[in-house]
Structure 1
Amino acid sequence: MCGNNMSAPLPAIVPAARKATAAVIFLHGLGDTGHGWAEAFAGIRMPHVKYICPHAPTMPVSLNMRMSMPSWFDIYGLSPDSNEDETGIKRASENIKALIDQEVKNGIPSHRIMLGGFSQGGALSLYTALTSQQKLAGVVALSCWLPLRNSFPQAAANSANKDMHVLQCHGDADPLVPFIFGSQTVERMKSLINPANITFKTYRGLPHSACPEEMVDVKRFIEKQLPPIRDE
């Protein structure tokens, strides 16, 4: 049911320096692992926040001649009209929702949990938040797109996140996920959630990667949406 036949190793975790009262679940891009992102978050961490960077299961990816690599779902192509792996996207989304449920059982309420991701991971984080019945703190979506975009707004009919805050970031020199994908995704998101809660940041000359300026923006967004609880 949860794709256990393609089980991935345990997530890379940056634990809270004191009692965790908030969590960030961040999903890496195609062919990557959670380790590099865990290191990045260790550099901008806040003491009350736990950072969870899961690893995608390894599977054959059509885009890369069916070579096996870490991937949240299959990718058939990178053009706007490419077919999409609807079954795989929905299965991956359910697995992320199960991760959120696990943190809620650990004592962190869902509205203190933020989703995020880079590229394919950012796409999955947007889809998961928009279709989740768990109220989340927000989403950090880096260099990505909205998957199964034609299934919306119906897919978001029961979502608890119509008012969530979203930080979307994209480099204007991205050769893999073109900048136009990011700007079109922002416009689509504005029709699905409160447009006043969406921030879109552009980074001049940035290819398909992150940069220090972007990580500062991510840190500020997390600080604003997941402030310390005063009685900690």
Structure 2
Amino acid sequence: MCGNSMSAPLPAIVPAARKATAAVIFLHGLGDTGHGWASAFSGIRTPHVKYICPHAPSIPVSLNMKMSMPAWFDIYSLNHNAEEDTHGIKRASENIKDLIDQEVKNGIPSHRIMLGGFSQGGALSLYTALTSQHKLAGVVALSCWLPLRNSFPQALVGGANGDLSVLQCHGEADPMVPVAFGRQSAEMIKSLVDPANVTFKAYRGLAHEACPEEMVEVKRFIEKRLPPV
């Protein structure tokens, strides 16, 4: 991925219905764009919250026989012990931190900004939140895993989110990212932040996708963590 975040088109945005006093930055999965998630959030929007759904740049993906597709970083294999694209993950995380900085400059304090994502985007949102110097409102992590998990807890040093609130949701029938991997990630996260603030919800019969019940849970989490001010 280019270090320059201009390598991807401008994010899809669902503006707040009134003055935005909070923001959700939500990252799509591999091969997707932000448009579908912007549409999903427009269906569960909260009036004072702005939803920002960036698009990943197109890069060659090893898992896809090196063909280019929208991706936040390279993926070599879906095996949970596979080698990871350490440089790409860290570079993508810096780009997301730049987006957070931009919203802070726009007048939304960081503790009123929530990160989230689906699959690869969820993995990046977890890594970014845990290593951010900004105090964040929380993370919504759907059908995903904690990347570079062997670099924690060292990566937390100086991070501002020791009491981070995390909502993790996962389909029990996920053939791409097994639910066991999601559960293991949740346990790892509980060892890094206050475990009382980490919620893991599994959905019976759900594959590698989101469902309406899950989106209701996401809406509740956003409203609890980002109330009107």
Matched pairs, number:
229
Pair 1:20–1:200, CA change in 2 (3 A): same
Residue 135 of structure 2 corresponds to which residue in structure 1? Answer: 135
Aligned to 1:150: 150
Q: How does 1:43-82 map to 2 (within 5 A)?
A: 43-82=43-82
Unmatched 5+ stretches in structure 1: none
Return 5+ residue gaps in structure 2 as ranges.
Answer: none
8 Å CA contact 1:2–1:95 kept in 2: the answer is: no
- 1:175-196 per-residue CA deviation (whole Å, 9 max, x = no partner) reads 0000111000010000000000
How far did 1:4 drift?
A: 2.2
Q: TM-score, normalised by structure 1?
A: 0.97
SS in 1 for 2:181: helix
TM score, norm. by length of structure 2:
0.98
Which residue of the partner structure matches residue 83 of structure 1?
83
Measured against aligned partners, the alpha-carbon deviations of 1:111-168 in whole angstroms (never above 9, x if no partner) come to 0000000000000000000000000000000000000000000001111001011000
Q: Which amino acid counterpart does residue 29 of structure 2 have in structure 1? A: G
2:199 corresponds to 1:216: no
The list of structure 1 runs, each at least 4 consecutive aligned residues, that deviate by more than 3 angstroms after superposition, is: none
Aligned to 1:108: 108
Report how far residue 2 of structure 1 moved: 6.2
The residue number in structure 2 matching 1:38 is 38
Alpha carbons 1:140, 1:167 under 8 Å: kept:
yes
The 3 A distance-change label for structure 1 pair 173 and 64 is: same
Equivalent residues in 2 for 1:6-45, closer than 5 Å: 7-45=7-45
Q: Percent identity?
A: 81
The answer to whether the 8 Å contact 2:123/2:141 transfers is: yes
For residue 98 of structure 1, what is the amino acid of its counterpart? D
Correspondence list, 1:175-214, <5 A: 175-214=175-214
